[in-house]
């Protein structure tokens, strides 16, 4: 799973460098971000701007990562296209995760968790 | 674009039971949808359904064992596109379709992250986005048939 990270304030911005987050890549994505959590990162903005496809495995990976992070962390979703956004909406995950149009908008938003 | 075409030939694709092969089937289904007049969003959502169905074959019917086959058939019937996904692995209890129908993703206001399961959304997604879904097992073949009508908005989204 290809992605890049950069620090911005208290957040680690994770930009997914793949166009698909499906079952063949979900486990690798989950393991990579879990490693970042285990290394001490507690606030994430995940940049989906290059992702045009997500399935239930990809959504499940996001839920798993967020659960690992726990309530003491932040997990923000940014840059989803219409299709990916529609999957968050269909599964009601948009009610669980703060979603923003861009990474910059996410970084500028009021802090969600202490 | 061939709007609402009803005379396109049936298309078939036989895949190895590998998760990294599934995207090809999804892209084929999406392209077929776009050529028959579905919107880009609808076509992408139908692609998700096809991918979910094939993932289920590979993960549940074949238990991730490679070297088996999954067949995708796409055809038109009247004002609908028909997607059939067949495998020869372990069959699914068809009651699972009934269990998820009509109540897939309803959350109440108290639902939290920890209440949300990490797995098991595939069938619910399919049933939410398709107009009809049927599952049969006969003659050592499991067949999931998904129907999507032209000119209907994607259902069950609020």
Tens-digit pLDDT profile for chain B (158 aa)?
555 555 677 899 999 999 999 999 999 999 999 988 899 999 999 999 999 999 999 999 999 999 999 999 999 988 899 999 999 999 998 887 776 655 557 677 778 888 888 888 999 999 999 999 999 999 999 999 999 998 765 544 43
- Using the beta-carbon criterion (under 8 Å), do B118 and A82 form an inter-chain contact? no
d(CA B124, CA B35): 26
Domains observed in chain B: 11-156 (3.30.565.10)
Give DSSP secondary structure letters for A11-24.
EEEEEE--SEE-HH
What is the predicted ipTM? 0.92
* CA quadruple B83, B79, B11, B67: dihedral, nearest 10: 0
The residue in chain A having the minimum alpha-carbon distance to the alpha carbon of residue B121 is A56
The residue in chain A having the minimum alpha-carbon distance to the alpha carbon of residue B113 is A96
Given a contact cutoff of 8 angstroms between Cβ atoms, the answer to whether B134 and B101 are in contact is no
Closest Cα to residue B46, out of B62, B35, B61? B35
pLDDT single digits (tens) A3-36: 999 999 999 999 999 999 999 999 999 999 999 9
* Cβ-based neighbours of B50, under 8 Å, separated by 6 or more: B25, B26, B29, B72, B83, B85, B146
List phi, psi (to 5°) of A76: -105, 145
d(CA A64, CA A61): 5
Sole residue written with tokens 């036989």: B14
Closest Cα to residue B24, out of B76, B70, B66, B87? B70
List phi, psi (to 5°) of B27: -65, -40
b/e code A57-85 from CB counts within 10 Å (16+ = b): bbbbbbbbbbeebeeebbbbbbbbbebbb
Give DSSP secondary structure letters for A73-94.
SEEEEE---HHHHHHHHHTTGG
- Using the beta-carbon criterion (under 8 Å), do B55 and A57 form an inter-chain contact? yes
Distance from CA of A51 to the nearest CA of B (A): 12
- Using the beta-carbon criterion (under 8 Å), do A24 and B51 form an inter-chain contact? no
């Amino acid at each position: 799973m290809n992605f890049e990270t950069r620090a911005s304030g208290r957040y680690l911005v994770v930009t997914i460098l793949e166009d698909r987050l499906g079952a063949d890549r979900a486990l690798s994505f989950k393991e990579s971000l879990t490693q970042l959590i285990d290394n001490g990162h507690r606030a994430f903005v995940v940049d989906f701007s290059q992702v045009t496809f997500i399935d239930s495995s990809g959504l499940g990976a996001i839920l798993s990562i967020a659960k690992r992070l726990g309530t003491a962390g932040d997990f923000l979703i940014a840059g989803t296209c219409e299709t990916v956004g529609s999957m968050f909406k269909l599964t009601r995950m948009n009610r669980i995760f703060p979603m923003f149009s861009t990474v910059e908008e996410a970084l500028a938003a009021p802090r969600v968790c202490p | 674009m061939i709007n609402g075409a009803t005379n396109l030939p049936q298309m078939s694709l036989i895949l190895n039971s590998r998760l990294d092969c599934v995207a090809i089937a999804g892209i084929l289904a999406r392209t077929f949808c776009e050529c028959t007049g579905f919107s880009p969003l609808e076509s992408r959502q139908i692609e998700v359904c096809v991918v979910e169905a094939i993932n289920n074959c590979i993960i549940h019917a074949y238990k991730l064992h490679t070297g088996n086959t999954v067949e995708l058939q796409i055809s038109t019937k009247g004002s609908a596109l028909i997607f059939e996904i067949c495998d020869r692995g372990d069959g699914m209890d068809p009651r699972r379709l009934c269990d998820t129908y009509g109540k897939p993703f309803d959350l109440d206001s108290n639902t939290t992250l920890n209440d949300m399961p990490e797995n098991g959304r595939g069938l619910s997604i399919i049933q939410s986005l398709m107009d009809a879904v049927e599952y049969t097992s006969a003659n050592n073949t499991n067949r999931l048939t998904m129907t999507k009508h032209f000119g209907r908005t994607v259902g069950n989204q609020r």
